[in-house]
Structure 1
Amino acid sequence: MKNYLPFFKKLATKTRSFIGFPKGESKIMRFCRLLWWIIGVGLVSIVLFFSAIAFNWFGFFGEIPSLKALENPKTPLPSVVYTADSMEVARYYSQNKTPLKYEDIDSMTILALLATEDARFANHSGIDAEATVGVILALLKGDNRGGSTISQQLAKNLFKTRSEESKGKLGNAGILSTVVAKAKEWITAVRLERSYTKNEILTMYLNEVTFGNNAFGLHAAAKKYFSTSPDSLEIHQSALLIGLLKAPSTYNPLRNPERAINRRNTVLNQMRKYKYLTRHLLDSLKKLPLDLTVFYEVAETGNSTYYKNHVTQKLKNWCEQNGYDLYADGLEIYLTIDSKIQTHAEEAVAKQMPILQKKFHEQWKGLVPWTDSNKKPLEDYIENAVAKTDYYKFLVEKYGKQSDSIQILLEKPKKMTVFSWENENHRKDTTISTIDSIKYYKQIMRAGMVSLDPYSGHIKAWVGGLDFEYFKFDQVRQAKRQPGSTFKMFVYATAIDSLDMSPCDTILDTNPIIRYEENGEQKIWTPHNADWTNTNRNMTLRHAMGRSINTVTAKLTEKVGWTTVAHYAKKMGITSPLAEVPSIGLGSSDVSLFEMAGAYSTIMNGGMWQEPQILWQVKDKHGKTLHYFHGESRRALSKESAWLMSYMLKGSTQEPHGTSLGLWSYGVLGHGNDVGGKTGTSSNFADGWYMGVTRDLVTGVWVGGEDRAIRFRTSDVGEGSKTALPIFGLYMQSLYADKTSGIRKAPFLEPSVEIKRRYYCPTPTYERYPEKDSTEVQEIVE
């Protein structure tokens, strides 16, 4: 030790020399000089420390929010989807927030926040010196308590100052990293105070904080716990919500009601402390129960979910191309859907389907309702359906494929809520086995419906099924089924446009024999009419189409060429693969309701195919329009041909024995109102279609089973004129009756060009024939 004494003496001498202690100076003066020197060095060190953090020297401390970031803070906001008439139908979010304005917040909520979190908020500039000193003294005593101001908490929450992305090289340096994070919050808080008013800071804070149970922001919290809005909160409700901010999980009122009440009462006591409440009011509020009215938000509800997948994919593509985050940028997205028209469409389906379901059960009573094309019961149909279920796969994984336990569990009855038309909410509690539940659902008839503005392509209604909770497959766009006679329209459009034929041209109604080659094999096709009879008379094209005569359509297909029919169908919007065979005009290829509605719109739109659109426009979070959506368009028919085809479509409601005459019973025909349409039925009555056109709307309806094995037994129930047409009739009937729907009875538009071809050739009324629309035909292959 003696060896080091000279060194320490020398060091002390140099220190006195550096500080500047004069020789002979008193000890008191030396102490004062040393104290001032320490204070000076400390202040310089503090300035250097905060400067180093503010400018992130050498990347040690991590980035701090810039002034630009402070002025435009990036907080994740949900993108909200609205109908064209501003009804909310969906949200995309990582955090489901709804931004509030200061005037939307009840004043007692503000006072509860100030009393509990930052009583001197109005008097400081981001840092509460008194509270900071109090925290330091408390820490020295071993008492760990918070002292952050609301501005500091906002800085922490809004800019994630303690996240991994905000840390620098010293991010994991223990207590030093905590000190650095705290310093960054102080700096950010001061900058926030300079950039925003006190009211704006309070509003931002209440929009940003979490209240637990996925309630982000005050708006979501008020809705979650009390099913109300922030400006309607009672004092005790505000106190509960503010109390949650300290520890949302600890004071969760759903799991820990007693703790939640105690914490609420603590907030109320704080409000009394700062004279925001009277003693009498405090006592009465503390006696109140939690008074929760919990709102459980379901992510996917209602029939809007049927088109949500289609909307989501289109939005994701647009956001990716334009640099937006669908789940965080707070976009306002407007669809073309009209909520009133959508409601009428859903109600029409819901009104007709129970009637059809009853008829289905009556027809198959005591019989096996799943059959092959020869109407014979399908073996192993239910067994194959069971094998596709997730429950069966789970049992196989657990017990092995050959285990008897699987069959026992599949046949074991259990409580279940099933879809049913018996109740208004379409729910029925029952006890049923897994196998029997599959049999039950297989027999439920399905339906789909889409309606659009033919001139803009805007989809006004989209009913993808009966109930998304139970039937998730979308019958509008996902499903592809044989369209039956609705596909005949393409044959007549091809003839009128490519061969300049007219509605008055005639073809003999006799059974044709058509020879053709398919896949290198020579074949013969001999189609017949649905009722197996012929008039043996020449029929005008309009009359033949109006009555859905198979023989005339087959002959016309041979005349124009089935390849040409396929070409026109694609020009008019059909994108599904089409078999170029003689039966193409009778709907032998599967297509979607979505495609067919777009194709029929081509006729009403003067021959221009307009891609059906469900997205209308996107706005940013400030309401500025970012983009209007416009689909593809192309000319598919001449204007004259399109007008002649619209006249042809009216034939089913005007020609003798037209297949759409059933619409008279719904009051939608006559009185100067034009309605056109085409019925369709696939073989064995597996699919019923109706394509209806009016001045304002083109609508497609499909009715059928889950698959082609489920069908009606006879034409008097199973044809499109008996299944799908009534839904269209109910739909238009209710739309016309609703004076707020914007849909009025009106004639079709007058032609915009000179019509040079003859088209007015009324058909005399012959003896009555059965009105059939089935495309069931006889095929003979040689």
Structure 2
Amino acid sequence: MAKKQLNKKQATTTTQTHFKKFIKWFWGLFAGGLLAIILLFLLASWNVFGKLPTFEELENPESNLATKILSADGKLLGTYFNENRTPIKYEDLPQHLVDALVATEDERYYDHSGIDFKGTARAFAYLGQRGGASTVTQQLSKLLFSDPPSSTIERLIQKVKEYVISTRLERQYTKEEIIAMYLNKQDFLFRAIGVSSASRIYFNKNVSDLSIEESAVIVAMLKNPRQFNPHREISRDKSKLRRNQVLKQMEKNGFLTTLEKDSLQALPMIVRFTPEGHRDGMATYFRENLKKFLAKWIEENPKGVDKDGNPEYYNIYRDGLTITTTIDSRMQRMAEDAVKKHMPRLQAEFDKQNLKNKTAPFRDIDEDQIDVIFNNAMKSSERWRKLKAAGKSESEIRKSFDVKTEMSIFSWQGDIDTTMTPRDSIRYYKKFLRTGMLSMVPQTGEVRAWVGGIDMAHFQYDHVQTGKRQVGSTFKPFLYATAVDQLHISPCDTLPNTLFSIAAGTHGNTKDWEPKNSDGKYGGMMTMKDALAGSVNTISARLMNEVGPQPVIDLVEKLGVDVSNIPPVPSIALGTPDLSLYEMVSAYSAFANQGVYIEPQIITTIEDKNGTILYQHVPNPKDVLSEEAAYVTLKLMEGVTQSGSGRRLRSGKSNRADYKDVVTGHPYSFTNPIAGKTGTTQNQSDGWFMGIVPNLVTGVWVGGDDRATHFASTRYGQGATMALPIWGLYMKDVYSNKDLNISDESFIKPKDLSIEVDCEKYKSQNTNNDDYDELDI
């Protein structure tokens, strides 16, 4: 019995000894594990596992900012960016967006210091089945790592680093600052970096204007911006379900009532996708051209010097500049709409006429000349450049143009996904008529609308400033203005409409020059006003013979035109020079500005990210013409819209039935004074219209990419049919918005006008003549 009791006591002692050892081992392992974890975090904080991402970008969140391009009326036209990010402050976030974020992503956000231990324990216990453990602070920490981990070990190490960074973030920043930094850093896809860009791109709104359900969509994307993207067709249903889950979380956390949640969940998910790529949105050609101005300004205005004394320059892709332009977003939209209304109709007629044209879309050239066009197009293409850079031979590159390729091509009904050879795509794109349009205020030089082409995504060439084309009869007002200035002619003076020859050796021409009228009609006397209205070449020849070509060239040079390629020969009277629309509009503006030329202005101010003004435009007016000569020239050009090729602006209808497919249906019916001039070049390769009202000058050009792409006759190929309708559509919209304050009054008459412009009064003053005075020239 005693032995049994001894053995029992010994067993109990042994058990107690083992238990004590187990307890010691347990606490030893626990302490060791805890110390190991602490050591692990210490090692991570000491950069033993690699340098931790710095807070530099968070401390200075405006270090990689998109440059904003604003219109004169305060609308965002677009951005220049590496990352399309426009940071926003916490106080500018709507409260319901913050509530949705906290309720969905981090319910105990305001109770923890960067790490939610309760959430972490739950995640371990349920292996993530009941949600993850990452707090908003940890998610911000994760965004600081530029490269994703390539293995499980790397991910574990990164996770440790995230914990370290999170605690540092919580010590350094307020909860509100962390929320703002997180939303500013998040990538929502489609170039939407940060919540501000996401709001504009997905809903075409500022963040502060988001509705509750829209904020829920934004927060829904945080889990996976691709899987829950509201724009992608494949993920729209998932996006809506996730949005409704966010709303449910808001109800759960007391931010919404059940009734509010139910009504919001029942709403359809409406997305107003507004992409902000460099070729998306409004004024794309203008924004691209603006870069040229900015490149020059940046070169001439360094922002400082670096530590080595070298100049540091502004970067439009990361310095967060704000550029306020002269473009009026309303007028820009009207200009783009006018192009979209007219050009498809014109293109449809052009395509119809080419159905039986064996060399379509070209005319009046042979196969060898067509081969030259194709060869030049191939060599200037992006495909040629890339293959050349890749080391391909010329023969290999040429062969690639005959291999069918999947591509998306332009059409006026929308882009078409198709398969064709690059060579066929060249011919396809060559058929499209192009256009350029520029509208500016003559008194200030402020450009209000700039349309450089029909579609920036497919046609990058700018037809406002880069492209130069033969101007035709739109050059004649410069000749008439010179004649008014030199000869003091009146619009009511007359000249004979008969063939007139300028002999070889006169005014620099090498052979006799005897231009013919485009309509083949001659005879009788014609007033200057009617001669300009009808673009009568014989009258232009007589005026050119009298004033000489050099004074005309001198005038246009003062009006901002590059005259280096304009020879001083009489034929310039008919518009042989190649000029840009930019030059033409700015030159015409002096007529409406009492003879004062002001260089076109496209920027009002440039500000840095802190709002400091770095540049402010100061106009530089130059007296070029007398006020009287400018006014008389305007009165001459009024005849174009009263009785000449621009008269359809008065009725909106053509006098000829064969224009019905293009012009009928444009009820312009303008009654206000309009000075204008149409222009049509040889073979109908270019159609122009320049239109002036007292405080707005607008020019339009239409033509093919190549001069061989043109209509068969002037029936459709003249400026009055190709270009004028765009001006008419645009001005109808402009006048419909009274807030734009575009004048429909008469042009300002000089106080001391000595030239009679009223032909009825002129006729009564010259009673000795049966009609008007014939000029002695």
TM-score (norm. length: structure 1): 0.70
Deviations along 1:498-517, one digit per CA (max 9) or x if unpaired, are 45444455444332222355
Letter in 1 for 2:173: L
In structure 2, the partner of 1:732 is: 731
CA contact (8 A) 1:75 1:328 kept: yes
CA contact (8 A) 1:395 1:406 kept: no
Q: Pairwise mapping of residues 183-222 of structure 1 onto structure 2 (< 5 A)?
A: 190-193=171-174, 198-210=175-187, 215-220=192-197
In 2 relative to 1, CA 296–598 (structure 1 residues): closer, same or farther, beyond 3 Å? Answer: closer
Residue 647 of structure 2: which of 661, 677, 691 is its match?
Answer: 661
3-state SS, counterpart of residue 650 of structure 1: helix
Q: Tell me the CA shift for residue 562 of structure 1.
A: 0.9
Q: Percent identity?
A: 35
In 2 relative to 1, CA 554–177 (structure 1 residues): closer, same or farther, beyond 3 Å? Answer: same
CA contact (8 A) 2:595 2:629 kept: yes
In structure 2, the partner of 1:554 is: 541
Q: Tell me the CA shift for residue 382 of structure 1.
A: 4.2
In 2 relative to 1, CA 441–571 (structure 1 residues): closer, same or farther, beyond 3 Å? Answer: same
In 2 relative to 1, CA 177–618 (structure 1 residues): closer, same or farther, beyond 3 Å? Answer: same
Is 2:411 the partner of 1:419?
yes
Q: Tell me the CA shift for residue 709 of structure 1.
A: 1.0
Unaligned stretches of 5+ residues in structure 1: 1-45, 54-60, 139-145, 165-174, 767-782
CA contact (8 A) 1:613 1:630 kept: no
Deviations along 1:246-294, one digit per CA (max 9) or x if unpaired, are xx8999999999xx99x989x989979996799x99x99xx99xx9979
Q: Tell me the CA shift for residue 370 of structure 1.
A: 6.1
Is 2:624 the partner of 1:636?
yes
Is 2:316 the partner of 1:326?
yes
In structure 1, the partner of 2:552 is: 565
CA contact (8 A) 2:64 2:83 kept: yes
CA contact (8 A) 2:361 2:431 kept: no
Residue 336 of structure 1: which of 303, 326, 338 is its match?
Answer: 326
**Number of residues of Structure 1 aligned to a counterpart in Structure 2:** 676
3-state SS, counterpart of residue 344 of structure 1: helix
In 2 relative to 1, CA 150–598 (structure 1 residues): closer, same or farther, beyond 3 Å? Answer: same
CA contact (8 A) 1:604 1:646 kept: yes
Distance in structure 2 (CA, Å) of the matches to 1:588 and 1:206: 58
Distance in structure 1 (CA, Å) of the matches to 2:586 and 2:678: 16
Distance in structure 2 (CA, Å) of the matches to 1:295 and 1:541: 54
Letter in 2 for 1:335: T
3-state SS, counterpart of residue 708 of structure 1: coil
In 2 relative to 1, CA 237–674 (structure 1 residues): closer, same or farther, beyond 3 Å? Answer: closer
Letter in 2 for 1:662: R
In structure 1, the partner of 2:284 is: 305
CA contact (8 A) 1:369 1:710 kept: no
CA contact (8 A) 1:303 1:465 kept: no
CA contact (8 A) 1:112 1:238 kept: no
In structure 2, the partner of 1:494 is: 482
In 2 relative to 1, CA 62–454 (structure 1 residues): closer, same or farther, beyond 3 Å? Answer: same
Letter in 1 for 2:212: S
Distance in structure 2 (CA, Å) of the matches to 1:615 and 1:520: 42
Is 2:294 the partner of 1:315?
yes
3-state SS, counterpart of residue 331 of structure 2: helix
In structure 2, the partner of 1:347 is: 337
In structure 2, the partner of 1:7 is: none
Distance in structure 2 (CA, Å) of the matches to 1:404 and 1:574: 40
In structure 2, the partner of 1:33 is: none
Distance in structure 2 (CA, Å) of the matches to 1:202 and 1:218: 11
In structure 2, the partner of 1:534 is: 522
In structure 2, the partner of 1:4 is: none
Deviations along 1:681-702, one digit per CA (max 9) or x if unpaired, are 1112211111111123211111
3-state SS, counterpart of residue 328 of structure 1: coil
In 2 relative to 1, CA 395–382 (structure 1 residues): closer, same or farther, beyond 3 Å? Answer: farther
Deviations along 1:747-766, one digit per CA (max 9) or x if unpaired, are 11232x411234433598x9
In 2 relative to 1, CA 521–322 (structure 1 residues): closer, same or farther, beyond 3 Å? Answer: same
Q: Tell me the CA shift for residue 596 of structure 1.
A: 0.4
In terms of mean alpha carbon deviation, does 709-718 or 433-442 score higher?
433-442
Q: Tell me the CA shift for residue 93 of structure 1.
A: 1.9
CA contact (8 A) 2:361 2:427 kept: no
Q: Tell me the CA shift for residue 630 of structure 1.
A: 3.7
3-state SS, counterpart of residue 401 of structure 1: helix
3-state SS, counterpart of residue 334 of structure 2: helix
Letter in 1 for 2:171: V
CA contact (8 A) 1:529 1:550 kept: yes
CA contact (8 A) 2:560 2:599 kept: yes
In 2 relative to 1, CA 156–190 (structure 1 residues): closer, same or farther, beyond 3 Å? Answer: farther
Letter in 1 for 2:546: K
Deviations along 1:312-368, one digit per CA (max 9) or x if unpaired, are 222344455263442334333333222332333333333333443344345444234
In terms of mean alpha carbon deviation, does 481-490 or 494-503 score higher?
494-503
Residue 350 of structure 2: which of 334, 352, 360 is its match?
Answer: 360
RMSD of Structure 2 on Structure 1 (CA): 5.6
3-state SS, counterpart of residue 701 of structure 2: strand
Distance in structure 2 (CA, Å) of the matches to 1:478 and 1:199: 49
Unaligned stretches of 5+ residues in structure 2: 1-38, 125-131, 148-155, 304-313, 653-666, 764-768, 770-777
In structure 1, the partner of 2:775 is: none
CA contact (8 A) 1:303 1:463 kept: no
In 2 relative to 1, CA 554–400 (structure 1 residues): closer, same or farther, beyond 3 Å? Answer: closer
In 2 relative to 1, CA 64–560 (structure 1 residues): closer, same or farther, beyond 3 Å? Answer: same
In 2 relative to 1, CA 101–563 (structure 1 residues): closer, same or farther, beyond 3 Å? Answer: same
Is 2:752 the partner of 1:761?
no
Residue 634 of structure 2: which of 606, 624, 646 is its match?
Answer: 646
Distance in structure 1 (CA, Å) of the matches to 2:484 and 2:103: 80
Q: Pairwise mapping of residues 399-438 of structure 1 onto structure 2 (< 5 A)?
A: 401=395, 409=403, 417-420=409-412, 425-427=413-415, 434-438=422-426
Letter in 2 for 1:701: V
Distance in structure 2 (CA, Å) of the matches to 1:149 and 1:536: 90
3-state SS, counterpart of residue 380 of structure 1: helix
In terms of mean alpha carbon deviation, does 387-396 or 695-704 score higher?
387-396
Distance in structure 1 (CA, Å) of the matches to 2:518 and 2:347: 24
Deviations along 1:604-661, one digit per CA (max 9) or x if unpaired, are 011111111222334455667654334543111122222222222213234xx53332
Letter in 2 for 1:419: S
Q: Tell me the CA shift for residue 384 of structure 1.
A: 3.6
CA contact (8 A) 2:66 2:82 kept: yes
Q: Tell me the CA shift for residue 711 of structure 1.
A: 2.0
3-state SS, counterpart of residue 522 of structure 1: coil
In structure 1, the partner of 2:152 is: none
In 2 relative to 1, CA 415–153 (structure 1 residues): closer, same or farther, beyond 3 Å? Answer: closer
Q: Tell me the CA shift for residue 114 of structure 1.
A: 5.3
Distance in structure 2 (CA, Å) of the matches to 1:540 and 1:226: 59
In 2 relative to 1, CA 466–163 (structure 1 residues): closer, same or farther, beyond 3 Å? Answer: closer
Q: Tell me the CA shift for residue 526 of structure 1.
A: 1.7
In terms of mean alpha carbon deviation, does 508-517 or 640-649 score higher?
508-517
Letter in 2 for 1:554: A
Distance in structure 2 (CA, Å) of the matches to 1:427 and 1:177: 44
Q: Pairwise mapping of residues 91-102 of structure 1 onto structure 2 (< 5 A)?
A: 91-102=79-90
Deviations along 1:8-66, one digit per CA (max 9) or x if unpaired, are xxxxxxxxxxxxxxxxxxxxxxxxxxxxxxxxxxxxxx9xx9xx99xxxxxxx999989
3-state SS, counterpart of residue 357 of structure 1: helix
In structure 2, the partner of 1:36 is: none
Q: Tell me the CA shift for residue 581 of structure 1.
A: 1.2
CA contact (8 A) 2:402 2:423 kept: no
